[in-house]
Amino acid sequence: MHLAWVSPLPPARSGIADYSAELLPALAQCGQVSLFAPDPWDAACLPGWRILPLEALPAEAPNLDLIVYHLGNNHYHVGIYDLALRVPGVVVLHDYVIHHLVARCTIQRGDLAGYVWHLAYERGPAGAAAAVRRAKHIFSEREQFLDPLNRLLLDRSRGVIVHSHWAAGQIAQVHPGLPICQVPHHRASIPPARRSDFRRQLGVAEHEVVLATFGFITPHKCVDSLLYAYAQLCQEYPHLRCFLVGEADSCLDLPDWLARMGLADRVTVTGYVDMEQFQGYMAACDIAVNLRYPSAGETSGTLVRLLGGGKAVVISNIQQFAEWPDDVCLKVDPGPAEEAMLLFYLRRLVQDPRLRGQLGENARRYMEAHHSLSRSAGGYLAFINQLVTDGHEPGQAAGA
């Protein structure tokens, strides 16, 4: 079998790039795998692999048994989306809602007609009207979460892979004939021996409790709720430290927020860090917050790393996040009670190291049992073999 794997690769600042790099060695047993990646990519990060630019894929397609496209909402996936529409394959939807990506491919390139067409395809005249409103700037950022804009892509695909039962169920309702596979997002362990070393580098004393959030900081990750809770707690617990680990969206004025909340000298904002440092901060933290509202239906790779590393984590109780077992992490309901619930849970976790330890141990065991790299790779291989054997084509009912 000759498989094409189309994805961002290291050193791209993308969780999906790291995800692919971790998974690829386990997939080598399926036969020949050719990698196609947008810039930037560094062959030294994946020695022994054949890596080609995206532009080479159409010419290679006749020699391939199957193409696997990885899609998320950042700019690395614009060229991948264009190819997935032109040359059908299997799509891995790391985000169920890809409205942000489609907007990058159309209206943000000056292609209003393409954006209108996508929304009309998704939900008819009402969708087209929403697209026209956006062109006239009568539109809010949150509206992008209301229309998934994945219908056209899935109609042109041979199958789809997702990471949550919730996403699989959403797709099955609209595309009953499309082969769907739910593959668990694999865990990547955090070396426990690095905890004390990295805390020492950060100047964190052993008795101090480290609270942190990780990943690209955007408005829908509810960092305002986290800062509100920390502003209360740091008055009660002077030994509580707070780190925001990741690059902040340009639309957020974090320095102004921190100054107005009196936290300018209490909260550390790291900016972008490489994977080694990222995992170091994870190893150093005691409590992690991973909130989303609204959500694009993603299974957070950062959350998977935190749980795999045995960390006590607080998440949002919505959609795909609600699938995590209640004894693995604490869940906060979005809405009017979000800040109060978050404050209550964080206070409990700061006060009770045994609770932190028990949650972390439950998380580590659960991830070992259900989110191993071998289990994830096995899911991919089984589904790929099934599609190649069945010869399913886009628009064709399963089993036809």
pLDDT tens-digit profile of 3-20? Answer: 999 999 999 999 999 999
382/333 same-domain check: no
Look at 193 and 158; give whichever has higher pLDDT: 158
The domain tally of the chain equals: 2
Q: Residue range 276-282: average pLDDT?
A: 93
209/280 same-domain check: yes
Q: Write down the mean pLDDT value for the chain.
A: 94
pLDDT score for 376: 96
Task: pLDDT band for 52, please (50, 70, 90 cuts).
Answer: very high
Q: Are 1 and 31 in contact (CB under 8 A)?
A: yes
Is residue 140 situated within a structural domain? no
Is residue 397 situated within a structural domain? no
Is residue 398 situated within a structural domain? no
pLDDT score for 254: 92
Task: pLDDT band for 28, please (50, 70, 90 cuts).
Answer: confident
156/221 same-domain check: no
211/240 same-domain check: yes
- Comparing 35-49, 114-128, 320-334, 347-361, the range with the smallest average pLDDT is 35-49
How many Cα atoms occupy the beta-carbon half-sphere of 384 within 13 Å?
26
The SS3 call for residue 342 is helix
Is residue 135 situated within a structural domain? no
Rg (CA), the chain: 22
Residue 190 has pLDDT above 70, yes or no: no
* Model pTM score: 0.94
173/200 same-domain check: no
360/380 same-domain check: no
345/243 same-domain check: yes
Q: Which amino acid is at 287?
A: I
Is residue 179 situated within a structural domain? yes
Q: How far is CA 6 from CA 96, 101, 150, 227, in A?
A: 18, 16, 18, 38
Range of the domain at 238: 194-370
178/324 same-domain check: no
Angle at 125 between CA 124 and CA 127, to 5 degrees: 70
155/63 same-domain check: yes
Positive or negative, the CA dihedral 193, 374, 172, 324 is: negative
Task: pLDDT band for 381, please (50, 70, 90 cuts).
Answer: very high
Q: Are 272 and 74 in contact (CB under 8 A)?
A: no
Determine phi and psi for 33, rounding to 5 degrees: -120, 120
272/365 same-domain check: yes
pLDDT score for 30: 75
167/253 same-domain check: no
Q: For the residues of 47-69, what is the DSSP string, one character each?
A: TT-EEEEGGGHHHHGGG-SEEEE
Residue 334 has pLDDT above 80, yes or no: yes
84/202 same-domain check: no
Is residue 120 situated within a structural domain? no
Residue 59 has pLDDT above 50, yes or no: yes
Positive or negative, the CA dihedral 372, 374, 377, 378 is: negative
Is residue 396 situated within a structural domain? no
Is residue 255 situated within a structural domain? yes
Q: Rounded to an integer, what distance in angstroms lies between the CA atom of residue 148 and that of residue 154? A: 11
Determine phi and psi for 276, rounding to 5 degrees: -65, -45
Residues near 40 by beta carbon (within 8 Å), at least 6 away in sequence: 11, 12
Task: pLDDT band for 398, please (50, 70, 90 cuts).
Answer: very low
pLDDT score for 70: 98
Q: Residue range 44-48: average pLDDT?
A: 89
Edge-first strand listing for the sheet containing 312-316 = 267-271, 240-245, 209-214, 287-290, 312-316, 330-332
pLDDT score for 399: 37
Residue 188 has pLDDT above 80, yes or no: no
Task: pLDDT band for 192, please (50, 70, 90 cuts).
Answer: low
pLDDT score for 330: 98
DSSP structure class, residue 184: P
pLDDT score for 393: 78
CATH code of residue 216:
3.40.50.2000
Percent of the chain with pLDDT over 90: 87
Identify which of 400, 297, 312 has the alpha carbon closest to the alpha carbon of residue 355: 312
Looking at the DSSP bridge assignments, the partners of residue 313 are 288
Q: Residue range 175-182: average pLDDT?
A: 96
